[in-house]
A and B are shown apart, each in its own frame.
Chain A
Amino acid sequence: MSILVFAEHDNKNLKADTLKTVAAAQAIGGDIHLLVAGSNCQDVAQEASKVNGVTKVLVADNAAYEHQLAENVSLLVTELAGDYDHILATALTTGKNFMPRVAALLDVAQISDIIAVESSDTFVRPIYAGNAIATVQSLDSKKVITVRTTGFDSVATDGSAEIVTLDTITDAAISSHVSDEFTVSERPELGAANVIISGGRGMQNGDNFKLLEGIADKLGAGIGASRAAVDAGFVPNDMQVGQTGKIVAPDLYIAVGISGAIQHLAGMKDSKVIVAINKDPEAPIFQVADYGLVADLFEALPELEAKL
């Protein structure tokens, strides 16, 4: 069997999430090729060639792929698909965007957000915001799959795969990139952070999120938020942890002023250690927390910062 894995990157660096998607490919088993589609992305190709378990890195380096527009990338992947039994991408915004197009163009179903591999055609995925776990068998000859990274451990990066340059250019010419507005932060991305501290509605306003920053600095943590805090306009949506935001599983997750709605728990309950700080002892977050502290966060946070 052969498997094509789409590499997540920003034309400079390979995203660590790709290492987990390759782990999912290894669980399926077969010859694994990594596709780097981008523009001026040779550094990424070099990095990709070191990913363990990968035998070949395919590089499509062209302006048409610079922003990984779904219309263009899906045509490329569909064209390559003939040689593969499985096509995998990470279930982040890029993969979620273009992969269903690939599936439709190949006339096969997509299995989204898998968290485990049972066999080459049977996969496990959460449904209903993680309130139920489905085991799904694909009946199609080709499997198009997105991988939820929290389900898999990263592979190592001491391999040496062959790099092959593709000269295929697929430009659908129906869409174009206008602009990016990325949040500039010195902190680790939520997907890559070993420690995350998140605030909820209990933070009361956006300014109070500053109380989390000192602690985040000391722990090298990423800062997240619940949907309630995002909906209330405290912080931007890219900080959202939950079923409708990012799904994370750090070593330590500190939930502050978060009640623990199902939709938030779906995004963080696979964290290794969960700490909850909330003044309501009945808050559902305490049912999943390893360590719960019933306290007013406006007193607890400065004290925590001082004692770390």
Chain B
Amino acid sequence: MKVLVPIKRVIDYNVKVRVKSDNTDVDLANVKMAINPFCEIAVEEAVRLKEAGTATEIIAVSIGTKACQEQLRTALALGADRAIHIETELNLDALNIAKLLQKVVEEEQPQLVILGKQSIDSDNNQTGQMLAALTNMAQGTFASEVKFDGDKVNVTREVDGGLQTVALNLPAIVTTDLRLNEPRYASLPNIMKAKRKPLAVKTADDLGIDLSPRTTLLKVTPPAERQAGITVESIDELVEKLKNEAKVIS
């Protein structure tokens, strides 16, 4: 079974985000970048499926500038067999990303596509679902468990109030939630090996999709700062303040 894992290059989750002074966007100049954490969980899940003998080949794909080949090499070091880079300088909406991925799905015909549920930069939580709609596949979003059962896959999902398990016809789309697995670290020998694994480069323009933007980013501002309050010395003082000053308890 072939597994496709789309991944995104994003700001490292440990880096404090700063808004540019002209309020056009956040400042990503000279900032440490990494694989989006949810995408890393997707790579790990694919690798585990291969280790379990369920998956036969893992293809990592990323869309963006040449720099995202760095994250594809990381995915190769973690266990992906080959990589596809779709090169573009454009900052694409999730719908256009999904349309490009649809082309990859048509060409590669994977039985399973695993993606992160959202990227920690744009926080859209859209790409997997959109790709599922465009390819008319079933989807198991926010997955905490993925189990194959004949020609179906059972996906346990993190939903409001608990867990929901759905059975999906294959091919299917899965998007990862935090508890699906704990990603491994790439070992040095695997990082060296990854340098020799195949990485195909295509340009987004060659895929024949209208990539005109669907949204305009008008401005980006820092969030309103919350004023720090006061330090209370005791529980008595806290309870008194909550009752008489904040009036939130009676």
What is the interface of chain A, defined by CB distance below 8 A to chain B?
67, 69-71, 74, 92-94, 96-105, 107-113, 122, 125-140, 172, 174-183, 189, 191, 195, 219, 227, 230-231, 236-238, 243-244, 246, 251-252, 262, 269, 272-275, 286-295, 300, 303-304, 307-308
Contact = CB atoms under 8 A, between A and B. Distances in A.
A108 B95 CA distance: 7
B158 interface: yes
Given A98-B129, A101-B133, A288-B228, A181 B218 contact: no
A132 B128 CA distance: 24
B17 A138 contact: no
B126 A307 contact: no
B11 to A, nearest CB: 7
B141 interface: yes
Contacts of B160: 92-94, 189, 191, 238, 246
Contacts of B95: 103-104, 107-110
A9 to B, nearest CB: 12
Nearest 6 pairs of A and B residues by beta carbon: A109-B214, A290-B229, A100-B129, A182-B162, A104-B133, A104-B130
A304 B223 CA distance: 32
Nearest to B123: A127
Interface in B8-42: 11, 16-17, 19, 26
9 contacts: A107-B95, A110-B95, A112-B125, A135-B221, A180-B163, A180-B165, A219-B249, A237-B144, A291-B242
Interface in B169-201: 169, 177-179
Contact of B178 (A102, A172, A174, A244): A244
Most chain A CB atoms below 10 A, which of B134, B177, B215: B215
A157 B230 CA distance: 38
Contact of B163 (A92, A181, A191, A308): A181
B125 A96 contact: yes
A104 B220 contact: no
Given A110-B95, A134-B217, 17 more contacts: A67-B164, A70-B139, A70-B141, A74-B133, A92-B160, A93-B158, A96-B141, A98-B129, A101-B130, A130-B223, A132-B220, A132-B223, A135-B219, A175-B168, A238-B163, A292-B232, A307-B235
B207 interface: no
Nearest to A294: B231
Contact of A291 (B123, B133, B216, B246): B246
What does DSSP make chain A's interface, helix, strand, loop or mixed? mixed
Contacts of A103: 95, 126, 130
Contacts of B129: 70, 97-101, 104
Interface string B214-250: 1111111111001011111111101101100010110
Nearest to B130: A104
B137 interface: yes
A136 B216 contact: yes
B1 interface: no
Given A96-B141, A195-B248, A181 B235 contact: no
A161 to B, nearest CB: 25
A126 B126 CA distance: 15
B49 interface: no
Contacts of B121: 127-128
A93 to B, nearest CB: 4
Contacts of B236: 307
Given A101-B132, A111-B215, A71 B123 contact: no
B61 interface: no
Nearest to A67: B164
A51 B73 CA distance: 53
Contacts of B126: 100, 103, 110, 112
A138 B179 CA distance: 34
A50 B233 CA distance: 48
Nearest to B14: A262
B239 A304 contact: yes
B215 A137 contact: yes
B161 interface: yes
Given A290-B229, A291-B232, A137 B216 contact: yes
Contacts of A289: 228-229
A73 to B, nearest CB: 12
A107 B98 CA distance: 11
